[in-house]
Chain A
Amino acid sequence: MVCPRGAGLILKRREFLEGVADLAPVLVAVIPIGLLWGTLASAKGLSVLESVLMSIIVFAGAAQFVAVEMWQEPAPILLLIFAAFIVNIRHVLMSASVSRHIEKIPRKLHPLVAYLLVDESWALTERRALRKPVTLAYYLGVTLPMAFSWYVATGVGALLGRSLGNPAAIGLDFAFSALFISILMGFWKGRRTAGVLAASGGVAAATHLAIDGPWYIVAGGLAGALFAALAYDGVDRT
């Protein structure tokens, strides 16, 4: 090898771009939703600075929509913090799961990995881990454009201050469901998976109908994992 460092860089560049390519269809939906959030935030009285700061510091779509819904002057600080925690509690399951696939990423960068862990990037990372080890380059490709788009779209929305229309009108609200369904199919391993999905989907739907708030994600996720543990037949699968 004449130039191993250069070869490594080319590989990293390719992995980064693979991440960006996987994320691209998601960004098409994230940008209008970020614009919408910015306009709602400005209608509720958040300044452009506050909106952008929230996007950078919190960086969580669902939690930010809930926060804007509850926003008033002066800000109900403890309620807002509690709501953000509850809405994001699903991330505990996501980060526990993804922590098993990031051994190639240096441990000192794991705090950065955690900051960037939003639903869509998490799902794409799990999908990647089915086929290849997850490298830092791939992870940054699948997360950094997401973060940047969110900061800019929410900031522009806050600057414009008026809604550009409802994303539901053109079906963009369904983009995330479609993304998750198509990633979900990659985990399909026959009857065993059908049981996991039935347990998870059934418990999540029932919890959603019975209890207000985002508890259904944790309830469904744990129900699916519990089903897998109960159905375990002593054969370790990879």
Chain B
Amino acid sequence: MISFADASPYIAIAGMGIATYATRVSGFYLLRGLNVSGRFKAALDALPPAVLMAVIAPVILTTGWAETIAAAITAIAAYLRLPLAVTIIIGIASVVALRAVLN
């Protein structure tokens, strides 16, 4: 006989999965049938860089100088059009070095 307590982890996992999937699929229907142009298009075009920036803002702006400076170094590497893998390695190496020096 399976009790509620035994089943609760599976119910929780299923519910978390549905909640997560809902967030991932809902955006597909938000814009369906809408005419995307003008001001609205400008806003949507800005979403990818705006969301990327928002995700990293706490790390690069509010954690400490090591992270902020490492972020600037990474941005320069990316601006120089170095390959993605090289840019990431430069970012990781800078943060490790700066944390060792500054902390």
A residues at B contact (CB < 8 Å): 22, 24-26, 29, 46, 50, 53-54, 57-60, 63, 67, 73-78, 80-82, 84-85, 88-100, 110-111, 113-115, 117, 119, 123, 126, 170-172, 174-188, 193, 196-197, 199-205, 208-209, 216-229, 231-232, 234, 236-237
Contacts and interface: CB of A to CB of B under 8 A. Distances in A.
B46 A204 contact: no
A50 B38 contact: no
Contacts of A223: 50, 54
A171 B92 contact: yes
5 nearest interchain CB pairs?
A224-B50, A220-B54, A95-B27, A178-B91, A228-B46
A25 B46 contact: no
B56 A180 contact: yes
Interface in B46-82: 46-62, 67, 70-71, 74-75, 77-79
Contacts of A216: 54, 57-58
B9 A22 contact: no
Interface of B: 4-5, 8-28, 30-32, 36-62, 67, 70-71, 74-75, 77-79, 84-85, 87-93, 95-96, 99
A171 B95 contact: yes
A119 B87 CA distance: 18
A178 B28 contact: no
A203 B16 CA distance: 28
A29 B30 CA distance: 32
B16 A25 contact: no
A219 B92 CA distance: 27
Nearest to B40: A229
29 contacts: A26-B88, A63-B20, A67-B12, A67-B16, A74-B4, A77-B8, A80-B15, A82-B19, A84-B15, A92-B30, A94-B51, A97-B44, A99-B27, A174-B95, A177-B74, A180-B55, A182-B91, A184-B56, A186-B78, A188-B49, A196-B53, A205-B58, A205-B62, A216-B57, A224-B53, A229-B39, A229-B40, A229-B42, A236-B38
